[in-house]
Amino acid sequence: MAYDVASNSLEAHWMPFSDNRGFKKDPRLIVKAEGVHLYDHRGGKLIDGSSGLFCSPAGHCHPKIAEAVARQMTEYTYVMPFQSGHPGSFALAEKISRKLPEKMNHAFFTNSGSEAVDTAMKVVMAYWNARGETRPRFVSRERAYHGVNIGGVSLSGMVKNRDIFHATVPGVMMLRHTFDPSESFIPGGRSQHNGVALADDLERMAQTYGGTNIAAVFVEPVAGSTGVLPPPIGYLERLRAICDQYGILLVYDEVITGFGRLGTAFAADKYGVEPDIITMAKALTNGSIPMGAVACRDDIYETVVGSSKPGLTEFFHGYTYSGHPAACAAGNAMMDIIAEEGLYARADALIAYFESALMDGLRDHALIKDIRMAGLMAGVEVHPEGGPGIRGTELQKRMFWDGLSVKFTGDSAILAPQFITTRAQIDEIIGRFRKTLDHMRDNG
């Protein structure tokens, strides 16, 4: 399906996280998608190596989701979410709760992962306020990514996402990141070293500032957008223990890892360490309609709700489109697809092959610096040239025209195949990746 760019102006759209000037000179437009494939405006066919932005694990344009959303649009298109509701949002919250850790049975809907993080911060503040405690500090981590709203930017440890936005939330402290540059190509992705020592940064903060002044610790169980940094052995366990010691809430940002990316519903299932609050988005609707959610322990919900007089609003927060009918239709369909098509098991069954194929296919390449694995996700880092991110940006553009769609952050490609991907398609992704590397190595 060709698209006439010349007759359709691209200038009006200010694109996010993009080189707008360069893109509009050399546009890369997707005009059709199906399953694991994308089709560009020149008629080319690509394989999707990153599930969009890690959000379409069931494949693009899944018919059950399309049918559910279309049907919803003929019944009702909008319901005010304040003091009224519709069946779809309650059904979806129930389905999500079945996949969550025990005693985590309440979900608050947002429109994105960024909104979910800011909502989680407000849940934390509302909880401590309801308990009559003042805890002014939050803890996050270097190289973390928690979205683009002011709260999430304040928690994020990726410098480019912070350095021009000065009005951030005060009182945020940073743990060290978990990446050890002396280790590379780690089998299984998880370092055996320094996990407890790195988590003990939180103990030092508690000793220095007072543990009862820390409201919550936000961590991505696997730091995704920074290039895939799995948690070292013992890291999450030690964080949990310190949080328990000082009554600090532990928040998992699972916007990327939630709903199967690690081969399990959530990271708590994978690593055996449960948080108090989980943020989620992306795969919640298979990327089809914007939606996020925050889930929390039942006692957190009950404390916040119970602090208000009966008949009055309990949590002064929400969005015009919280629990939007179309998004809920997509989310309900996605939850059914996960169960009916066994997507978690399919993802888990691919993980070992994905790792071995990546290591066999790319590790020996002269341009490859490291490969970091976490479930069905990998950070493939190339040696930088000309400055941080320059080679990675150029590779992402070239790979598009070589038939591979992949997300880069700096000089790290983030491969995250869809759960429906076959082994042959895994090989195709890696083959196309290597082809572009070969061309860059040989021709600059």
Q: Are residues 369 and 239 in the same domain?
A: no
The band of 7, judged by pLDDT with boundaries at 50, 70 and 90, is low
| 330 and 347 housed in the same domain | no
What is the average pLDDT score of the chain?
96
Supply the CATH number for residue 164's domain.
Answer: 3.40.640.10
Quote the CA–CA distance of 382 and 436 in Å, as a whole number. 12
Helices (H), 9-62: 20-25, 51-54
Q: Is 11 exposed, middle or buried (0-12, 13-18, 19+ CB in 10 A)?
A: exposed
Domain count, the chain: 2
Question: Which residue from 374, 343, 354 is spatially nearest to 433, judged by alpha carbons?
Answer: 354
Report CA torsion sign: 283, 286, 291, 295: negative
Residues 351 and 391 in one domain: yes
Q: How far is the C-alpha of 38 from the C-alpha of 404, rounded, in Å?
A: 9
Residue 184 neighbours by CB distance under 10 Å = 13
Same domain assignment for residues 45 and 129? no
386 within some domain? yes
Task: Give the pTM.
Answer: 0.96
Please state, for a pLDDT cut of 90, what percent of the chain lies above it.
Answer: 91
In the chain, the amino acid numbered 142 is E
Q: How many CA atoms lie within 13 A of 182 on its CB side?
A: 3
Query: Would you say residue 268 lies in a domain?
Result: yes
Q: Which residues pair with 46 in a beta bridge?
A: 38
Closest CA to 362 of 417, 415, 423: 415
pLDDT digits (tens, 9 = 90+) for 301-342: 999 999 999 999 999 999 999 999 999 999 999 999 999 999
Q: Is there a domain that residue 361 lies in? A: yes
Question: Is 7 among the domain residues?
Answer: no
Query: Do 98 and 189 belong together in one domain?
Result: yes
Same domain, 229 and 321: yes
149-153: which pairs have CB atoms within 8 A and are 24 or more residues apart? 149/114, 149/115, 149/117, 149/118, 150/118, 151/117, 151/118, 151/121, 151/122, 152/114, 152/117, 152/118
Residue 170 lies in domain: 67-340
Between the two ends of the chain, the Cα-to-Cα distance in Å is 32
Other beta carbons within 10 Å of 83:
6
Short-list 241, 288, 292, 275, CA closest to 114: 292
Does residue 327 share a domain with residue 259?
Answer: yes
Model pLDDT for residues 25-53, shown as the tens digit of each residue: 999 999 999 999 999 999 999 999 999 99
The verdict on residue 83 lying in a domain is: yes
The pLDDT tens digits of the residues spanning 90-121 come to 999 999 999 999 999 999 999 999 999 999 99
| 379-430: pLDDT as tens digits | 999 999 999 999 999 999 999 999 999 999 999 999 999 999 999 999 999 9
Q: What pLDDT is attached to residue 3?
A: 73
Answer yes or no: is 1 within a domain: no
Long-range contacts formed by 338-345: CB under 8 A, 24+ apart: 338/58, 338/259, 338/260, 341/58, 341/420, 343/57, 343/58, 343/260, 343/419, 343/420, 344/260, 344/263, 344/264, 344/265, 344/419
DSSP string, 257-305: TTTTTTSSSSHHHHHS---SEEEE-GGGGTTSS--EEEEE-HHHHHHHH
Tell whether the model's pLDDT for residue 6 goes beyond 80.
no
User: Which residues have a Cβ under 8 Å from the Cβ of 173 and sit 6 or more positions away?
Assistant: 137, 138, 139, 140, 205, 209
Number of CB atoms found within 10 A of residue 297's CB: 22
Q: What is the dihedral of CA 233, 236, 240, 242, to 10 degrees?
A: 70
Q: Are residues 81 and 210 in the same domain?
A: yes
SS3 annotation, 342-402:
CHHHHHHHHHHHHHHHHHHHHCCCCCEEEEEECCCCEEEEECCCCCCCHHHHHHHHHHHHC
Query: What is the helix (H) or strand (E) element at residue 214, kind and residue range?
Result: strand 214-219
Instruction: Note whether 222 and 272 are same-domain residues.
Output: yes
Residue 229 confidence class, pLDDT cut points 50, 70, 90: very high
Residues 386 and 287 in one domain: no
Residues 76, 46 share a domain: no
Average pLDDT over residues 212-218: 98
Domain boundary residue, one of 317, 340, 363: 340
